Structure 1
Amino acid sequence: MVSSIESPSRVTFGLFEADLQTGELWKAGKRIKIQSQPFKVLSALLEHPGEVVTREDLQLRLWGKDTIVDFEHSLGTAINKIREALGDSAENPRFIETLARRGYRFIAPVSYPVAVTALASPAVLVPSTEQNAVSAAAPLSINRSRVWPLLYLVGGVAALAAAAGIGIYIGSSRGSVTPARITQITHNGRIAPGAPSMESLPATATDGVHIFSSVIQNGRAVLSQVSIANGDVLPLSIPSDIPAPSMGDLSPDGSKLLLRNHLSPESEQPLWVVPVDGGSALRVANILAHDATWMPDGDGILYAAGNQLFVTHLKDEVSTVLATVPGRAFWLRWSPDHKLLRFTIIDPLDHTTSLWELAAGGHTARPVLAKWSSPASDCCGTWTADGKYFVFQSAHDGSDDLWRLNGKSTSDPVKITNGPLRYEAPLAARNGHRIFFLGLDAQSELLRYAADRKEFVPESNFLSLANRVDFSRDHQWVAWTDAQGRLWRARTDGTEELQLTPDAMQVFLAHWSPDGKQLAMMAREPGKAWHLYSVPADGGSPQLLLKEDRNAADPGWSPDGNSLVFGRVPDLMGKESGPRAIQLLDLRTHAVTTLPGSEGLFSPRWSPDGRSIAAISFDQRKLMLYDVAAKTWRLLTETSAADPVWSATSDAIYIHAFMAPTQPIYRVAVPSGKLDEVANLASFHSGEAADYFFCGITPDNVPLVRARSSTGNLYSLDLDAK
């Protein structure tokens, strides 16, 4: 039975907060419009998170047993209105799950700003604040015989405990399972998620009281300490020698951080040791590495550079090779008994992640879960303090969740979360079996720059979900990629919208041919390299243009449409050993030629008038210009640069100076190279944008950007919770 207690007034979930008494709904502090009837349905679901609320119960709650109404239509309309307000979908729900012919269930983590007394029955679990785990008391009468069973056997071994949509699987018998507890630690939605495709993993560390994590502030990831008790965030005092610190590890005694810089695009960076309580940074010898961790004794550092693992001792700064591994190693974690090292390998060609292990004193690594996921997506494991469990993240069936292995076992992983968020970066507490992790629920929107207001404003039309945008030369059509990497096209008024690529293909960017009949794409299939494709603008199968066993990027059209200029990916998107330069592909003969003097350049863009090709140096600090007739390169400007876009008249190039403190978008005049700042971080409403990237320009040279208002929060669970 459910005890009779007063229901809490305010309920929070993700970026949303609902006041069940006043009928108001907010998202990240902004009031969201929602009609009375849909809000009543939402309230009913929020009062019973994790439970099935039947259609009959909702009918009684909203209309009463004696009211004559087209109930099915009215309820369906109300649910659609709720999903519209929350940005949810029936096909891939993050908040409201439909159970055919039965009812609905609220599946997202729920917490309450004001503590209330817990229910007497433990049958329902909801995420809580650190101080107390709570479940809402229910004025709505729930028919318990109709509630979806909270416990069922998985593979005959593990049991599922429903946690308001976060399933916690714990090996136990059906009769003795007690739900584990999910705790939401932060609520600001600004924990930096990293970018695995850019060799940036969201590493964290803990001293038992705080979690050290990167938090997005003023458009940059700032290394901060987060209170485990109340989620308070305090930026750390990091010396200016390290302008963009990336977490490597916390020393065994909890006094020193091992960091590397991640602002520069070079994949191998210096290592630094910084006291947690502030002080001077110590450069670790002359080491360049892409990841590192402390040795268990705290006197040495294990680091990864290239395809090798090294150990260096701080006393004599002498480095020795530990092992050669089959790829680039990240997330290095020693077992508590110091006898086994587990780590993640990122393959630069097929862009997969896999778990590997190396015995202490050994020199040959072996896979932990060979061919368990396809393509491989296993990453970022952590050992509990006693070594009883090894928890890692993996993607299956479109969901990124946490999984558990028993100790040093390499088989039979058990799933311990089950959406609706993406769960990443597990971190074990310094004692017990508590796990901290990142729950991603990124919110972003496309904005255009309004010069008259000197600020970015939302693009509320059909392009609001676009990531990268390209307009046809005649300005009649527009193509764009969405968050899933699919390519779309439509007329500029939004009509004749058409998806051009299959769901399984990931498109990074695409450009219209001069005649507007096709698009050239940088795209890839799951578990494969980036390749060059073309696709008809009216629809059809994408065609592979250049078959290679390496990454190719950034195709751009010649004025006559007979050739493509293209480059290679930077180190952070796949460090390769082959030569990297700007090349031309003749679409008639399939011959490939290299532009003279283009070694060390990437991201080419051919001007609309055909006279010039712009490209960026691999350190992304120089914008170069190639004279097609003279076949010579020259420096156009020296500044940080990303995502170059030519103006329609070929008299300027727009770039994002992402390394600069204010991250401006510049208009670079051609041929003078004069820089004019168009917009920067201050062009967003204060606090509305966590960060942004440059998406393109409109035919009248208006910059488009995609700004994130939130990324994710820190959560925790205890594998032993009873």
Structure 2
Amino acid sequence: MQTSVLRFDQFELDLISYELRKSGRLIKLEKLPMELLILLAERQGQMVSREQIIQRLWGDNIFVDTRQGINTAVRKLRIALQDDSEHPRLIQTLPGRGYRLLAPVSGAEVCGSPKEVEPSELPPAASPIEIVPPNSTSTAKRWRRMTAAAGAAVILLVMAVLLFVGRNKFHPASREWVQVTNFPDSATQPVLSPDGHMVAFIRGPETFVTPGEIYVKILPDGEAIQLTHDGMPKMAPAFSVDGSRVAFTATDRSFGWNTWVVPVLGGESKELLPNAAALTWNDKGHVIFSEIKTGVRMDIVTAAESRAEERDVYLPSSATGMAHRSWISPDGKWILVSEMGLSGWNCRVLPFDGSATGETVGPKPAQCTNAGWSPNGRTMYFSADAGDGYHIWRQHFPNGVPEQLTFGPTEEEGIAVSADGRMLITSAGIRESTVWVHDSHGDRQISGEGNARLPGIGYSGGGSASISLFSPDGKKLFYLVSKQGSREVASGELWMADLETGQNQVVLPGILMSEFRISPDGERVVFTARDAHGSPHVWVSLLDRRTPPRQLTSSVSTHPNFGPEGDIYFLMSEGTLEYLYRIGMNETVPRKVEPEPIRDYQGISPRGELWITALGTVSKIIAHSIQGGPAVQICTFCGVGWGPGDKFFYLRFRDVGAMGGGKTLAFELRPGKELPELPPSGLKSAEDIKGLKAASEIDMTGKGVFAPGPNPSIYAYTRVIVQRNLYRIPLE
């Protein structure tokens, strides 16, 4: 049969059979990205506006967030075409306007049927995963049916469990990945019940602390049932030994890490243990969890469920180390730990009796956030980012070599290994972070699709002190774009956006940095970059690249910032302690600012008169004077910072997690002052602001990290789009 085909680059687009092929191989593509590709191909090099895309994809009846919908469709299309958003070969982004297909398009008539290929035959850049969200109408109807029949669903769940147990074995049917959930948003942090017949997870976007609720689903094809309805940010669900309860960590505005439990068969959630995170059971009467004893350091301990018989298992060596998750081996002799520290996330294995601190495991260097064991305890599994995003790795215990199991443009986080060891369940999908600016022209996206980031006032509690990402005149904004090969959660190349012309360009090609600040004169950038061993150091460079970047520290150092007279302030490690240092423009040897070590340092003020710390589990933001004198408590569980110069002070209250929210308030400072007038005990919530005179109040709904500009009418922020679902991956 004759079929009409459009050809471009190495691809063939069949308009009748609705299929995309590359060199004869069928590439699976969802409806919306397919419609977008057809539209771009039909225009043959002409710009297609975002309004035209909206009309083509959704028509007049729009019930979705079209901005996010277009970005997601473009992202998935680029994945299918193996195109790079920053160096496009096929799809060009025209910021604020639309998109264009760069490759010439020709039409032809061809015969025959397409050759269907198995996912395992696809090249690495073409993932075997196909995430197909249902349309908004059917999703709404299904949600209403689920809500109306919640009581019946619980009864059905009980009956299904009774019928299922003992009668079925849950094995992967093939070598292909199998989709377990099909949400239009995200399912993350899977955990299997002890008998392997149920999976619990969080319906939420993040793989760490996330907004969302606990769900449970009977495998393989049961309906997902919502168990919690409390609205608390959550992480780390876990089944009890008998499978009757799901424990989860809930956080709050006081930065408490508390364990709650909810019955699998329905009922109210109840707090089980305060100051206990990522709790799991190692036998019927004993649990393992993370606990904060001093400062923010988080240890691994074990105890009875009543907290009696508590003993330490692992204590991080750093005062700021946080051992967030742990997984005991099947024989109860070893434990895997995921720890967040100065070098990011790492996984280690150690004796469960606490007799040694063990050693790091998994790929190195890498960010390792999740782990698990095979049923026989001979294999460790990891979710780790060794440079190309988070993927699944395995390593034979005790002396094996890490081996990567999953590849491709999606990322896989979370590990739930089946009782027979033949498969695991993970959360796979995409996460897109974009940079936006607000100024006299309103709000507009500055970066292209991909992973663009800002340092600033954002994640959880804590301050960022002086934040200078804009040029002095506010006409240029600097930000980071992540590239493959990055081994840090928030690193990338430095880019500059000209806010008047709309042009974007890379500033220091090939240099991966995380923290950075622009000097008050707009000529230099100070930043943190990691060496081959993953240790951070402070560097400085001219933005015009007239001279090579210069490394300022040989020891581990972080939190760089510009102070008065162009001096650079930073935190440098001496053994397990950290001290505040400074170095002048023409100096080569740093000078110690404070003789005493500093814990929980956040940054320095523009004039260099104050340094900020975030103390304790409730993240009290404290300002300390360089000249001595009493400390000033600013706020509790908040973020603070100064914009470029010393005219405005910003304060943000927000929820736990990385997805934004809350309010940011700007205060105009009196001449000679670096802080606004505050109550003696500081501010505990946005409600306490009522008695103060704020120059501006900014709604942060849908906004992530906040970076102030020269005045409150100009600022930058991030938006994050996440879509993940659970997948079953065969291991044999």
Q: Deviations over 1:581-625 (max 9, x none)?
A: x55444444343335999556333433xx3854635335755555
Q: Helix, strand or coil for the counterpart of 1:236?
A: coil
Q: Helix, strand or coil for the counterpart of 2:344?
A: coil
* Equivalent residue letter for 2:286: G
Q: Are 2:253 and 1:234 equivalent residues in the alignment?
A: no
Aligned 8 A contact 2:258 2:276 in 1: yes
> Which residue is equivalent to 2:699?
680
Mapped to 1, the partners of 2:528 and 2:435 lie a distance apart of 21
Write out aligned runs for 1:2-401 (5 A).
41-42=12-13, 52-53=23-24, 86-87=73-74, 94-97=79-82, 141=112, 165-166=127-128, 179-183=175-179, 185-191=181-187, 202=189, 204=191, 206=193, 208-213=197-202, 215-216=204-205, 221-227=211-217, 229=221, 232=224, 234=226, 236-237=228-229, 243-247=232-236, 249-263=238-252, 269-273=257-261, 275-276=263-264, 277-279=266-268, 281-284=270-273, 288=275, 291-295=278-282, 297-304=283-290, 309-314=300-305, 317-322=308-313, 329-336=323-330, 338-346=331-339, 348-358=341-351, 363-364=355-356, 366-367=358-359, 369=361, 373-378=363-368, 380-384=370-374, 390-396=380-386, 398-401=388-391
Percent identity between the two aligned chains: 13
Q: Are 2:554 and 1:547 equivalent residues in the alignment?
A: yes
Q: Helix, strand or coil for the counterpart of 1:94?
A: helix
Cα gap change, 1:261/1:532 in structure 2, threshold over 3 Å: closer, same or farther? Answer: farther
Aligned 8 A contact 2:438 2:713 in 1: no
Mapped to 2, the partners of 1:666 and 1:500 lie a distance apart of 31
Cα gap change, 1:478/1:518 in structure 2, threshold over 3 Å: closer, same or farther? Answer: same
> Which residue is equivalent to 2:523?
517
Write out aligned runs for 1:572-587 (5 A).
577-579=576-578, 583-587=581-585
Cα gap change, 1:697/1:46 in structure 2, threshold over 3 Å: closer, same or farther? Answer: farther
Mapped to 1, the partners of 2:511 and 2:715 lie a distance apart of 30
Q: Report the Cα offset of residue 309 of structure 1.
A: 4.5
Tell me which of 419, 425, 443 is aligned to 1:457. Answer: 443
Q: Report the Cα offset of residue 375 of structure 1.
A: 1.2
Q: Report the Cα offset of residue 437 of structure 1.
A: 0.7
Mapped to 1, the partners of 2:693 and 2:324 lie a distance apart of 38
Mapped to 2, the partners of 1:316 and 1:249 lie a distance apart of 18
> How many pairs are equivalent?
570
Tell me which of 638, 642, 645 is aligned to 2:639. Answer: 642
Mapped to 2, the partners of 1:74 and 1:260 lie a distance apart of 48
* Equivalent residue letter for 1:395: D
Aligned 8 A contact 2:381 2:415 in 1: yes
Q: Are 2:544 and 1:557 equivalent residues in the alignment?
A: no
Cα gap change, 1:464/1:712 in structure 2, threshold over 3 Å: closer, same or farther? Answer: closer
Tell me which of 702, 705, 729 is aligned to 1:717. Answer: 729
Q: Helix, strand or coil for the counterpart of 1:707?
A: strand
Cα gap change, 1:321/1:460 in structure 2, threshold over 3 Å: closer, same or farther? Answer: closer
Q: Report the Cα offset of residue 511 of structure 1.
A: 2.1
Aligned 8 A contact 1:186 1:231 in 2: no
> Which residue is equivalent to 2:86?
none
Q: Report the Cα offset of residue 413 of structure 1.
A: 5.4
Q: Report the Cα offset of residue 419 of structure 1.
A: 1.6
Q: Deviations over 1:419-440 (max 9, x none)?
A: 2201111212456634211113
Q: Report the Cα offset of residue 538 of structure 1.
A: 0.4
* Equivalent residue letter for 2:355: H
Cα gap change, 1:46/1:481 in structure 2, threshold over 3 Å: closer, same or farther? Answer: farther
Q: Helix, strand or coil for the counterpart of 2:204?
A: strand
Q: Helix, strand or coil for the counterpart of 1:95?
A: helix
Aligned 8 A contact 1:532 1:555 in 2: no
Q: Report the Cα offset of residue 486 of structure 1.
A: 1.4
Q: Helix, strand or coil for the counterpart of 2:577?
A: coil
Mapped to 2, the partners of 1:598 and 1:325 lie a distance apart of 18
Cα gap change, 1:600/1:379 in structure 2, threshold over 3 Å: closer, same or farther? Answer: closer
Cα gap change, 1:290/1:143 in structure 2, threshold over 3 Å: closer, same or farther? Answer: closer
Write out aligned runs for 1:653-664 (5 A).
653-659=649-655, 663-664=662-663
Cα gap change, 1:52/1:85 in structure 2, threshold over 3 Å: closer, same or farther? Answer: farther
Mapped to 2, the partners of 1:311 and 1:616 lie a distance apart of 31
Cα gap change, 1:606/1:323 in structure 2, threshold over 3 Å: closer, same or farther? Answer: closer
Q: Helix, strand or coil for the counterpart of 1:411?
A: coil
* Equivalent residue letter for 1:519: V
> Which residue is equivalent to 1:420?
409
* Equivalent residue letter for 1:53: G
Aligned 8 A contact 2:185 2:205 in 1: no
* Equivalent residue letter for 1:224: I
TM-score (norm 2): 0.63
> Which residue is equivalent to 2:707?
695
* Equivalent residue letter for 2:677: S
* Equivalent residue letter for 1:234: Q
* Equivalent residue letter for 2:288: L
Q: Helix, strand or coil for the counterpart of 1:252?
A: coil
Aligned 8 A contact 2:178 2:729 in 1: yes
> Which residue is equivalent to 2:506?
499
Mapped to 2, the partners of 1:672 and 1:328 lie a distance apart of 34
Q: Report the Cα offset of residue 464 of structure 1.
A: 9.8
* Equivalent residue letter for 1:707: R
* Equivalent residue letter for 1:425: G
- Give ranges in structure 2 of 5+ residues lacking alignment: 27-39, 54-69, 84-88, 91-109, 131-172, 292-296, 455-467, 484-491, 670-675, 679-691
Cα gap change, 1:409/1:514 in structure 2, threshold over 3 Å: closer, same or farther? Answer: closer
Q: Report the Cα offset of residue 252 of structure 1.
A: 1.5
Q: What RMSD in Å do the two structures reach over aligned CA positions?
A: 5.2
Mapped to 2, the partners of 1:151 and 1:282 lie a distance apart of 45
Cα gap change, 1:464/1:321 in structure 2, threshold over 3 Å: closer, same or farther? Answer: closer
Mapped to 1, the partners of 2:600 and 2:731 lie a distance apart of 49
Higher relative contact order (CA 8 A, sep 6+): 2
TM-score (norm 1): 0.64
> Which residue is equivalent to 2:461?
none
Cα gap change, 1:316/1:403 in structure 2, threshold over 3 Å: closer, same or farther? Answer: closer
Q: Report the Cα offset of residue 465 of structure 1.
A: 6.8
Q: Report the Cα offset of residue 411 of structure 1.
A: 2.6
- Give ranges in structure 1 of 5+ residues lacking alignment: 8-20, 24-34, 56-72, 99-103, 106-138, 153-159, 169-176, 193-201, 570-574, 683-688
* Equivalent residue letter for 1:478: L
Q: Deviations over 1:437-463 (max 9, x none)?
A: 1113112333344799xxx73335779
Q: Helix, strand or coil for the counterpart of 1:547?
A: coil
> Which residue is equivalent to 1:125?
none
